[in-house]
Structure 1
Amino acid sequence: MKIYHIAIVDDDINIRQIVEAYLQKEGYVTTAIESAEEAITLEQENPPDLWVLDIMLPGMNGYEFCRRIRAGSETPIIMVSARDEEVDKILGLELGSDDYLTKPFSPRELVARVNRALQRWKQMKSHAEQTAISALVLDKEKRLVYSFGEEVEVTSKEFQVLSLLSEHPNRAFSRDELLSLIWGFDYFGSDRVVDDLIRRIRKKLDKIPLETVWGFGYRLRTLEGTKDE
């Protein structure tokens, strides 16, 4: 059974401690941090399954962090704020948050909302995995790629990247790792070649869940449904 990892981003230590205690009692693994800048590092190194995100943070605010997360991930986000104006809630939802809770809130209500958000996320991923069954098939012996039953012409480097990512479900690879593993340790060119290659793959295979890990690299999601032959 999967144990979910919840990140709490709030500059109020009392709220962090209370929320952590209730979520841990529910069986979740938690990471509590006080700024969006720390949250960016967490997303790169150990991305959580759900964010509990305060809006009013020092430095980068919760709105901007939510926008950054949504640029490359559909991880559930529950925003919390002392501001209960309708416009604040609408803005948070428009930026991609899944729920909005006004302070002061009941920790039990937050836990209930976390449970509900993760259940929706689990159902969505299950549907995506079923769809991905026919989305990507690699024939490694013949070095052919099929998407929804149709052959897609790819270059040797594109095939190598797809093979590598499909062999490591949901693992994020840095640009440097991809350079070393695909182009070789003696390659001294720019890492922009990785971005260009990923861009071409996305253009050819626009339905596969190839995600950008902001400031780090790339990963292929929902690979339980991806097939190798």
Structure 2
Amino acid sequence: MAHILIVEDEPKLAQVLSDYLRRDGFDTHICGDGADVMPWLAEHATDLVILDLMLPNIDGMTLCRQIRQQHQPHSRTLHQTPIIMTTARVEEIDRLLGLELGADDYVCKPYSPREIVARVKAVLRRTALTAEVSTAPFSLDLVVEPNHNLLRVGERRVELTAVEMRLLQVMVGSPGRIFTREQLMDQAYPDRRLVNDRTIDSHIKNLRRKLNALNAEHQYVRSVYGAGYKYEPTP
């Protein structure tokens, strides 16, 4: 039975969400104060965190950052735990910042409890799939550690953002295939937000810079003029 931590300071909303999740077979725990979250996580294992942005004492954005930087002495290290952020604030900067900090999904209030349950199931399925290839070779020299958002070549390693890791995983899944910017946008942003071509280009630019720091002799991600981008492993 998967365990879900609900971090929500509206008691009625938190209880309704808990009831819906329990009906679908999940175990739940509710934290209504941001200051209680990290101490609870230090003592308990959880499979996913539903994290509200606006909380008393410590806000959700800060908690998301702390979770991604910490480790947990249970079956899963804490920084790998999936996070679904919820908020009534819909400004684009909040969406972008939340996902760049490592949130796996983002839901705006008001939301249907059924939608949250569906998103929880979807995120847990993606997480289970990723765990099966926690250390997978991308080519003869490049190795990815998706649960840690790390890439390495030999002893050299670099850390990727969540979006950069998603982009790379999409491309390496089909070496040599050309992905359009629109296709990459759909894969990079689970919340289906509207972003322009320059946003993807910027992420690709940063990704290529980090890959170059690992191996300057091979260009892993190539641009195809007028078409998009593709991944090419080393020979």
Task: Report the TM-score, using the length of structure 2 for normalisation.
Answer: 0.53
> Is structure 2 residue 25 aligned with structure 1 residue 19?
no
Q: Within 5 A, what are the aligned runs for 1:1-229? A: 3-72=1-70, 73-128=79-134
Shift >6 Å, 4+ stretches: none
CA distance in 2, matches of 1:66, 1:47: 16
CA distance in 1, matches of 2:7, 2:24: 18
CA distance in 2, matches of 1:21, 1:40: 23
How many residue pairs match? The answer is 131
Task: Report the TM-score, using the length of structure 1 for normalisation.
Answer: 0.55
> CA offset at residue 99 of structure 1?
0.6
> CA offset at residue 129 of structure 1?
6.8
CA distance in 2, matches of 1:12, 1:109: 18
CA distance in 2, matches of 1:130, 1:20: 36
Q: Which runs of 5+ in 2 are unaligned?
A: 71-78, 138-142, 144-235
Q: For the pair shown, which has the larger CA radius of gyration, 1 or 2?
A: 1
> CA offset at residue 47 of structure 1?
2.6
Q: Which runs of 5+ in 1 are unaligned?
A: 136-229
> CA offset at residue 32 of structure 1?
0.6
CA distance in 1, matches of 2:88, 2:21: 21
Letter in 1 for 2:100: E
> CA offset at residue 30 of structure 1?
0.3
Letter in 1 for 2:9: D
Paired residue secondary structure (2:14): helix
Paired residue secondary structure (2:96): helix
Tell me: higher relative CO, structure 1 or 2? Use CA pairs within 8 A at least 6 residues apart. 1
CA distance in 1, matches of 2:84, 2:45: 15
Paired residue secondary structure (1:128): coil
CA distance in 1, matches of 2:5, 2:135: 24
Aligned to 2:180: none
